[in-house]
Structure 1
Amino acid sequence: MENPAITNHEIHPLIAQRWSPRAFDSKLVEPEKLAQLFEAARWASSCFNDQPWAFIVATKDDTVNYQKMLDCLVPFNASWAQVAPVLGLVIAQKNFKHNDKPNAWGEYDAGQAAATLVLQATALDLVAHQMGGFDADKAIATFNIPETAKPIAAIAIGYAGEPSNLPAELQERETAPRSRNPLSSIVFTGEWGNSATFI
């Protein structure tokens, strides 16, 4: 299933096609495609080129680590993500590598790496759903994440599935039209709240 964005201005088809479904097919993702996703993430931009991101990934054929990853999700997310063939965590390093000082932009940069990964997934006819609904403390303990790093999101990756395979309460959400706040509410000039004229 596809659910492209209906935009007010033309954008690249890759961005318009990207979305976050909950319906996944159980088909495994080919290792070469997985490698491409993380290669794309590797080339994201970052402050001082510090590259403060890391990923912990579990594929469904690695049953032990996959279950450990699934157990870190909140029950609602686990209810649909358990079909996805790949689950992962997005990690941000807390300090800069070159001086060990706090990196105020580390989470922002890790988010850019995740966004780049998701766009690469779209280009490969995969889908990805990023999640805030996970237990960070459990993830830290389960995967031995050091104190110098912070898990900031979970992610499910795979091929799109059929909405009819979702629990009934999620099917309507899956097929609903996508929406975004108007540009006038997020792009300002001169001062906060003064909408830019070019939008």
Structure 2
Amino acid sequence: MDKDAETSVPVHELIRTRWSPRALDPNGQVSEVALRAMLEAARWAPSNGNTQPARFMVGRRGDETYERILALLSQRNREWAWPSAVLVLACVATRNEKGQVPMAEYGVGLAVQNLVLQAVAEGVAAHQMGGFDREGAKLSFALPEDIQPLVVIALGTLGSPDQLDDARRDRELAPRRRRPLAELAFTGEWGNPAF
């Protein structure tokens, strides 16, 4: 499915073609090599002072970790995410041997973005979700106090939009939309567009 971003100037293909599908093939696979490459990409993300605050729980379809992550998803997310080949729970390490990790969530965001862009390069669909039970994740995985669950990423291969309910299918098939650059980048004073 062609969901390329409509940009005001050309951007890299990985960015132009990245989107968050919900229609995933229940028989689709993510190879171990591709999964490892995605996690390596995440590992090499920038972080404040090289603190590397990103941590990941990785569940492959059919294993116990996958089932525990799936059970944590909100009902609305479970309805479409169940065909994922892999579910990843991204967590943030808030402390290290030096104390509080500065800008830790920002570091995890950068790591997850690297993971997602590597997924695009590997031909893998990736969809990030905030709708899950964070307290349940802490209990289910016995997370240490300084590890906080942040986001779940569904990984898989594209499936048919026909497997989705009407509202999700419409969103799946609709063109991608973003605010214009003039509403995001300013110069001189707030609200004066840079472009």
Deviations, residues 28-81 of structure 1 (Å, cap 9, x unaligned): 21111111110111100000011011011111131x222211111000000000
Question: What is the deviation of 1:8?
Answer: 1.2
Q: Which amino acid aligns with 2:5?
A: A
Structure 2 distance, partners of 1:189, 1:147, is 42
Q: Report the equivalent of 1:17.
A: 17
Pair 1:130-2:128 in alignment:
yes
Identity %: 42
Q: Report the equivalent of 2:41.
A: 40
Structure 2 distance, partners of 1:115, 1:20, is 12
TM-score for the superposition, normalised by structure 1: 0.94
Structure 1 distance, partners of 2:2, 2:147, is 35
Deviations, residues 63-110 of structure 1 (Å, cap 9, x unaligned): x22221111100000000001111111111112x3511x224100010
Counterpart secondary structure, 1:150: strand
Structure 2 distance, partners of 1:69, 1:2, is 30
Structure 2 distance, partners of 1:3, 1:127, is 12
How many residues are treated as equivalent by the alignment?
A: 194
Counterpart secondary structure, 2:80: helix
Counterpart secondary structure, 2:92: strand
Counterpart secondary structure, 1:89: strand
Return 5+ residue gaps in structure 2 as ranges: none
2:140 maps to which of 139, 142, 146 = 142
Pair 1:2-2:2 in alignment:
yes
Matches within 5 A, 1:7-156: 7-26=7-26, 27-62=28-63, 64-95=64-95, 97-100=96-99, 102-156=100-154
Structure 1 distance, partners of 2:97, 2:67, is 36
Pair 1:173-2:176 in alignment:
no
Counterpart secondary structure, 2:151: strand
Q: Which amino acid aligns with 1:114?
A: V
Deviations, residues 99-134 of structure 1 (Å, cap 9, x unaligned): 11x224100010100000000000011110001111
Q: Which amino acid aligns with 2:142?
A: N
Structure 2 distance, partners of 1:2, 1:78, is 25
Q: Which amino acid aligns with 1:49?
A: N
Return 5+ residue gaps in structure 1 as ranges: none
Structure 2 distance, partners of 1:145, 1:19, is 30
Structure 2 distance, partners of 1:190, 1:90, is 38
Counterpart secondary structure, 1:173: helix
Q: Which amino acid aligns with 1:120?
A: Q
